[in-house]
Amino acid sequence: MSMDAQPSNDPQLDALEQQIAELQDQLMQAQKMSTVGAVASSITHEFNNILTTVINYTKMGLRHKDVATREKCFNKILASGQRAAKITTGMLSYSRSKGNKYEAFDLVQIVEDVLVLVEKDLQMHRVKLQTDYFSRPFANVNISQLQQVLLNLIINGRQAMDGGGRMFVSVRTNEEQGMAEIAVRDCGTGIPADKLPKIFDPFFSTKDADEQGQGGTGLGLALCRDVIESHKGRIRVESTPGKGTTFTLKLPLVAEPGLTTGSNSGPFQKAG
Ligand SMILES: Nc1ncnc2c1ncn2[C@@H]1O[C@H](COP(=O)(O)OP(=O)(O)O)[C@@H](O)[C@H]1O
Ligand SMILES: [Mg+2]
């Protein structure tokens, strides 16, 4: 997140603007680490489960000498290892990546990578997740920033459903507007009309931090808005108190890299 400050004739002003840009970058990084913290405990649990599976199937394979059983055990161990690798890769790429690189990227892929990180957290909070990918749009994005936005929205949604509930994440193409849309919907408390205009303000929060110390700073949505606006996109909210809330991200569509003709708006259409 950096401001596109025009150099002025005032060196003091330039220095201040430089300072603001640096502080914004630091805030972004700190916010990112706090989100990592939020999912870390659930990921530790998940690793424990994976290890239990690996250990049990290894023992079983050692006990049984027949080929069929051993093959089954190896397959279970392999699947567990692959799941663990997927989670660590996601975690590392999320916490490491920095900088302002933008690239044309598959939004469904970004959503899926984020869901790997929060799946367990949602499960532990009895949130049932449904995904609907109506198309496979591409947009020009800073991948880690967009992941961060999605993590913030998903964790907010989960926090709005104390005791659990259903969450829906969808991706679609809005051809008329030339926009890709990602929606995160929860069936939680909703947001009263008088609070709705304030939720994107920095430091506006109605919560105390949860057991992972997540939430309560009021910086999540402020960051989401900054990120989406720096992507020339829009973030919209619709909420009904007592029913739930939907946040929709709209990002300008771009062509799938490597595709010369046609659109990428059909369901899972591939080149060729
Ligand atoms: N999905 C949601 N459902 C209900 N309220 C929400 C939701 N997302 C955000 N809010 C409201 O907006 C406020 C600001 O959110 P955010 O900027 O993420 O800060 P924080 O999560 O630290 O409180 C929250 O405190 C809450 O009141
Ligand atoms: Mg939040």
Domain with residue 243: its CATH number is 3.30.565.10
pLDDT number for residue 269: 44
Q: Is residue 10 included in any domain, yes or no?
A: no
Can you tell me the mean pLDDT for 117-121? Answer: 91
pLDDT number for residue 261: 53
Residue 241 has phi, psi (to 5 degrees) of -55, 135
Give per-residue pLDDT as tens, 145-186: 899 899 999 999 999 999 999 999 999 999 999 999 999 999
Q: Which atom of ligand 1 is nearest to the CA of 200?
A: 17
Q: Is residue 63 included in any domain, yes or no?
A: no
pLDDT number for residue 155: 93
Give per-residue pLDDT as tens, 175-216: 999 999 999 999 999 999 999 999 999 889 998 877 666 677
How far does the centroid of ligand 1 lie from the alpha carbon of residue 100, in Å?
26
Q: Is residue 145 included in any domain, yes or no?
A: yes
Q: Is residue 186 included in any domain, yes or no?
A: yes
Q: Look at residue 191 and give its three-state secondary structure.
A: coil
Q: Is residue 193 included in any domain, yes or no?
A: yes
Number of domains in the chain: 1
How far does the centroid of ligand 2 lie from the alpha carbon of residue 22, in Å?
22
Q: Is residue 45 included in any domain, yes or no?
A: no
Say how far apart CA 267 and CA 272 lie, in whole Å: 14
| Ligand 1 contact via 245 beta carbon (within 6 Å) | yes
- Least confident stretch, 53-62, 96-105, 128-137: 96-105
Q: Which atom of ligand 1 is nearest to the CA of 190?
A: 4
Q: Is residue 154 included in any domain, yes or no?
A: yes
| Ligand in nearest proximity to the CA of 185 | 1
Residue 266: band (very low, low, confident or very high) from pLDDT cuts 50, 70, 90: very low
Ligand 1, atom 18, lies closest to the CA of: 220
Q: Specify the long-range contacts of residues 195-204, CB closer than 8 Å, at least 24 apart.
A: 196/237, 196/239, 199/237, 200/224, 200/225, 200/235
How far does the centroid of ligand 2 lie from the alpha carbon of residue 151, in Å?
9
Residue 5: band (very low, low, confident or very high) from pLDDT cuts 50, 70, 90: low
Which residue in 176, 113, 173, 168 sits closest to 138, CA to CA?
Answer: 173
pLDDT of residue 72 exceeding 90, the answer is yes
Say how far apart CA 164 and CA 255 lie, in whole Å: 38
Assessment of whether the complete model's pTM goes beyond 0.75:
yes
Q: Is residue 8 included in any domain, yes or no?
A: no
Neighbours of ion ligand 2 (CB under 5 A): 156, 215, 220
Residue 182 Rama label (left phi>0; alpha psi -120 to 50; beta): beta
Q: Which atom of ligand 1 is nearest to the CA of 216?
A: 22
- In contact, 231 and 143? CB cutoff 8 Å: no
Which domain does 250 fall in, by range?
102-254
